[in-house]
Amino acid sequence: MNSHDAGLGNLSEPSSFIRKLPKAELHLHLEGTVDPATLAELSSRHPTPLPVLNNRYKDVSDSGRVLSVEDARALYDYKNFVGFLMAFKAVTERLRDPEDYELITYRMIEKLARESVVYAEVYVSVGVIFWRGQEFDPLFEGMERGRERGEHDFGVKLNWIFDAVRHFGPEEAEKVVAKAIDLRRRNVIGIGIGGDEARGPAKNFREIYAHAAKQGLHLTAHAGESTGPESIWSALRDLQAERIGHGLRAVDDPALVEHLARTGTPVEICLSSNVRTGCCRAINEHPVRRLFDAGVRITIATDDPEMFGTSLSREYELLQNNFGFSDDELSKLSDNSFEASFLPPEEKERYLRSRL
Ligand SMILES: [Zn+2]
């Protein structure tokens, strides 16, 4: 079965119950919220050649050509993991100025409001920005302007999580964490690591995470997405991660599932992402139901919604259609999304109470 479809089916309109259910989104990459129209707009600001890694994209990779909306759509219609990486790269190489970040942040918040998301914790790939040699501070000012305008216009509250790249190594991650510490009073709530779990084992980042925690930052880590349960154990034990991003492979170790359930450690589940990247072969093979039934505190998220052709309501709809989640169970998942957030207890309570 090709991972492009793998049971995800066509987009339909989620029920009004799902669309109106107030939600928090806790696993969302800013760069993955750039829709084709916005990518085309960024491309006209910064015409750059696209990478040519396989033939499929030759037709949209004319050197220096400005991407049309159709080109951007073709780029997002990838068929394999390399295609996904190329789409992500095409976006990040066109994010150059504070104005670009302001634009994508504002549009992200506008879209979150349409999903009845009232609170979000959003990853920024600070590790990639450093790796590109970009000066971060002015870009952050752009993000913050977008956040302030978006919060004001759409009433969605947002905090940032600064994300480092595992396979760039601990020295690079240290720079990301130092920047998060600098900006922790400016809506930076935590740190994360993503990227290649095999080439960047969690134990390499132990001291960096301990330092971040001492400075009052919250801790999450992508783990168990492409490698087995030992990667999740390591994120818990070596990093003291408070939340696990993906955690897909926890199901391979009953003791780990039991541990996650007993400790109430939230696991950020991103169904469409797991299928589109090929980490899960087909939607019906996804362990989300098993994890939920075992008492694991799962929270539903979109990861890179534009690149995975999804939205948060659509992810809830997949749970209902493919795994038989009732409206009550979906409400429970929406509760989880607030409880699993890094907000202080009184703010979580405020969101939960306002839903009654
Ligand atoms: Zn992610």
pLDDT digits (tens, 9 = 90+) for 134-154: 899 999 999 999 999 999 999
pLDDT at 59 over 60: no
Residue 9: per-residue pLDDT: 64
Beta bridge partners of 300: 269
At 57, is the pLDDT very low, low, confident or very high (cuts 50, 70, 90)?
Answer: very low
With vertex at residue 24, the alpha carbon angle to CA 22 and CA 26, rounded to the nearest 5 degrees, is 160
Does residue 9 belong to any structural domain of this protein?
no
Does residue 8 belong to any structural domain of this protein?
no
Which residues, 6 or more positions from 6, have their beta carbon under 8 angstroms from its beta carbon?
275, 276, 280, 281, 282, 283
265 Cα to the center of ligand 1, angstroms: 17
pLDDT at 288 over 50: yes
Q: Where residue 288 sits, what CATH number does that domain have? A: 3.20.20.140
124 Cα to the center of ligand 1, angstroms: 10
HSE-up (13 A, CA, CB side) for residue 150: 28
222 Cα to the center of ligand 1, angstroms: 7
Catalytic residues: 225
Residue 39: per-residue pLDDT: 94
Residue 3: per-residue pLDDT: 42
pLDDT at 2 over 70: no
Kindly report the average pLDDT of the chain as a whole number.
91
Which residue matches tokens 């939920």?
A: 292
Residue 78: per-residue pLDDT: 87
Does residue 26 belong to any structural domain of this protein?
yes
Does residue 7 belong to any structural domain of this protein?
no
Does residue 100 belong to any structural domain of this protein?
yes
304 Cα to the center of ligand 1, angstroms: 7
Does residue 287 belong to any structural domain of this protein?
yes
The most confident of the ranges 5-14, 64-73, 187-196 is 187-196
Does residue 11 belong to any structural domain of this protein?
no
pLDDT at 85 over 90: no
**CA gap 163, 221 in Å, rounded:** 9
Rg (CA), the chain: 19
Residue range of the domain that includes 174: 16-354
316 Cα to the center of ligand 1, angstroms: 18
At 5, is the pLDDT very low, low, confident or very high (cuts 50, 70, 90)?
Answer: low
Number of structural domains in the chain: 1
The mean pLDDT of 166-190, rounded to a whole number, is: 96
Does residue 60 belong to any structural domain of this protein?
yes
Lowest mean pLDDT of 7-16, 120-129, 251-260, name the range: 7-16
